[in-house]
Amino acid sequence: MILVDADACPVKQEAIRVALRHQQSIVFVANQGLRLPDHPLIRQFTVSDGFDAADDAIAEASGPGVLVITADILLAERCLKVGAAVLGHRGDRFTMDGIGGQIATRAIMADLRAGLDGQGIGGQRPFSKGDRSRFLEAMETALRQLPR
């Protein structure tokens, strides 16, 4: 099964394409309705707009044999701890070995932003065709390695 943190996911269509090619069910978890193709392997799970409602639903459904797609580092850590494979939107694979450093970097960046009184330090670079391509390749690899 594939779980997608869908509210701000830029690779929904790519994830669907790869999931269907591998005959894997894919569930999009979101706070609002999404326009998704009508297919028996594609589902949507709509959660309340409560704080971390989508993250909680994804983490609860995660485990071995599940691929989670998210850009949320804290959600990635929760899913890794229960044995899920986790992939970011740009094709980066989250691992237990690297997640601690990513969380630390996230905290440092949050502190920097808070200390600049609204003066930007820049955000993430725009999503590119190369990012999309890396995601497709990484998802293919992750699904091939996923325990059945």
Q: How far apart are CA 42 and CA 26, in angstroms?
A: 5
Look at residue 28 in the predicted model and tell me its pLDDT. Answer: 97
List the structure tokens of 93: 């694979």
List the structure tokens of 71: 């850009």
Look at residue 59 in the predicted model and tell me its pLDDT. Answer: 95
Look at residue 116 in the predicted model and tell me its pLDDT. Answer: 60
- Lateral strand order in the sheet of 26-30: 42-46, 26-30, 2-5, 67-69, 85-87, 93-94
Please tell me the total count of domains within the chain: 1
Q: How far apart are CA 77 and CA 84, in angstroms?
A: 10
Q: What is the CATH number of the domain that holds 141?
A: 3.40.50
Q: DSSP readout, 34-92?
A: ------TTEEEEE--SSTTHHHHHHHHH--TT-EEE-S-HHHHHHHHHTT-EEE-TTSP
Asked whether 6 and 84 are in contact (CB, 8 A), the reply is no
Look at residue 76 in the predicted model and tell me its pLDDT. Answer: 92
Look at residue 14 in the predicted model and tell me its pLDDT. Answer: 95
Look at residue 96 in the predicted model and tell me its pLDDT. Answer: 72
Q: How far apart are CA 43 and CA 6, in angstroms?
A: 12
Look at residue 52 in the predicted model and tell me its pLDDT. Answer: 85
Containing structural domain, residue 93: 2-145
Q: Which residues contact 110 (CB under 8 A, 6 or more apart)?
A: none
Asked whether 15 and 2 are in contact (CB, 8 A), the reply is yes
List the structure tokens of 73: 């580092």
pLDDT tens digits in sequence order for the chain, 148 residues long: 999 999 889 999 999 999 999 999 999 999 988 999 999 999 999 998 877 899 999 999 999 999 999 988 889 999 999 999 999 999 989 987 766 556 555 555 555 556 665 565 555 667 788 889 999 999 999 999 987 6
Q: How far apart are CA 144 and CA 138, in angstroms?
A: 10
Look at residue 48 in the predicted model and tell me its pLDDT. Answer: 86
